[in-house]
Structure 1
Amino acid sequence: MIAIPAIDLREGACVQLVGGSYDAERVRVNDPLDALKKWRGLGFKTFHVVDLDAALGKGSNLEVISRLLTYEPGLTFTVGGGVRDTARVEAVLASGASFVVVGTRAIEDTAWLSDVALRFPGKVVVAADVKGREVVTRGWTAGSARDVSDVLSVLEPLPLGGLLVTAVHKEGQMGGVDLPLMQEVVRSSRHRIYASGGVTTLEDLRALAEAGAHGAVIGMALYTGKLDAASVAREFA
């Protein structure tokens, strides 16, 4: 399993939000490139970039994303946030992203998701953001009234690059992961599973690795120093 630092973009800065709430910003790094350089210097090679402004229709951080993706050849980036049409999928991949993450429209419009997955096989990662067991959309502000197991069954036949499953109810709170959820998702899907939400300790990472997760996205615990980044990089980068 690989550990993946999160670089969440808001108003041109790298931020960490508690529970995904815009009113609960806890960490801000004014230049996101500084965050990338720090994690890269410790040995991380894969990064998860999210345009929070685009996800909520509040703007775009495309210029910042371009700077991150062109910083150093050979790094792996998953990029998402507000990717809701085919042109944006194509643009993100053309800009140098290894994978494009689609959430809201992927959940709401299966026909469109099938089309882009077939057009870009192995390059599209679907974000299934889970609150309790309900999959939520639109920057975690809207419920879908769909259980995560139902969503997984629909996604199963598609040629995806993976599933990014975020336990929204654990996000940014540094209280540990929702291990039963992640275990269930790994068991239920043939796709690579990237786990997110609540990673706080090396034991959390080891448990996710044992459960069969392909990757774990880490945010708040790295940025606050709660989790020793050098130790994580040695074991999971």
Structure 2
Amino acid sequence: MRAIPAIDLREGACVQLVGGSYAEERVRVKDPLEALARWRAHGFTSFHVVDLDAALGRGTNASVIARLVAAAPGLVFSVGGGVRDSERVATLIEGGASTVVVGTRAVEDLAWLEDVASRFPGRVLVAADVKGREVVTRGWTEGSGQDIAPVLAMFARLPLAGLLVTAVHKEGRMGGVDLALMREVVDASPHPVVASGGVTTLEDLRALDAAGVQGAVIGMALYTGRLDASAVAREFAE
């Protein structure tokens, strides 16, 4: 399993929020390139970049994303946040993103997802953001009314890069992961699973690894020093 530092973008800065709430920002790094350099120095080679402003329709950090990807050619970047049209998917891939994360439109418009996945096979990562068991959309602000199980079934036959499953109810709280949810997703989906939300300890990472998760996004615990970045990278950077 690979550990993947999160670089969440808000107003041009790298931030960490609790539960995705703009009112609960706990960490801010003014220059996201500084955050990227910090995690690269520890030995991480994969990064998860999210445009929070685009996800909520409050603006864009497209220029920052372009700078991040250009600064580290050869590394692995998954990029998402407000990606709701095929042109943006193409632009991100052409700009160097290894995979592009799509969430809201993927859940709401399966025909569009089928089209974009067929155009870019193995390059689209679908975000299934879950609060409790309900899939949520639009930057985690709206409930879809759908349980995670049938949503996973919708995606099963598509040529995706994988699924990014975020336990929103765990996000940023440093209280551990929703291991039962991640086990269920791994068992139900034919696609590789990347887990996010609540990673706090090396034991969390080891448990996700044992459950069959192929990647784990880490945010708050790294930025606050709760997790030893060097120790994580030694065990899970590759």
Return the TM-score normalized by structure 2.
Answer: 0.99
Structure 1's unaligned 5+ residue stretches are none
Q: Distance in 2 between matches of 1:210 and 1:153?
A: 23
Q: Distance in 2 between matches of 1:49 and 1:72?
A: 13
Q: Distance in 1 between matches of 2:93 and 2:101?
A: 10
Structure 2's unaligned 5+ residue stretches are none
Which residue is equivalent to 2:91? 91
User: In the alignment, residue 9 of structure 1 is paired with which amino acid?
Assistant: L
Which residue is equivalent to 1:42? 42
1:169 has 2:175 as partner: no
Residues 130-174 of structure 1: CA distance to partner in whole angstroms, max 9, x if unpaired? 000000000000000000001000000000000000000000000
Q: Distance in 1 between matches of 2:20 and 2:58?
A: 15
What is the count of residue pairs matched by the alignment? 237
1:126 has 2:126 as partner: yes
User: In the alignment, residue 24 of structure 2 is paired with which amino acid?
Assistant: A
Deviation at 1:73, TM superposition (A): 1.8
Q: Distance in 2 between matches of 1:200 and 1:88?
A: 33
Q: Calculate percent identity across the aligned residue pairs.
A: 73
Residues 165-207 of structure 1: CA distance to partner in whole angstroms, max 9, x if unpaired? 0000000000000000000000001101000000000000000
Q: CA RMSD in A?
A: 0.4
Deviation at 1:125, TM superposition (A): 0.2
User: In the alignment, residue 39 of structure 2 is paired with which amino acid?
Assistant: W
Q: Distance in 1 between matches of 2:40 and 2:207?
A: 24
Q: Distance in 1 between matches of 2:111 and 2:101?
A: 16
Which residue is equivalent to 1:54? 54
Which residue is equivalent to 1:28? 28
Matches within 5 A, 1:109-188: 109-188=109-188
User: In the alignment, residue 141 of structure 1 is paired with which amino acid?
Assistant: T
Q: Distance in 2 between matches of 1:150 and 1:140?
A: 19
Which residue is equivalent to 1:225? 225
Q: Distance in 2 between matches of 1:117 and 1:72?
A: 26
Aligned residue for 2:169, secondary structure, equals: helix
User: In the alignment, residue 168 of structure 1 is paired with which amino acid?
Assistant: V
Which residue is equivalent to 2:70? 70
Q: Distance in 1 between matches of 2:17 and 2:73?
A: 29
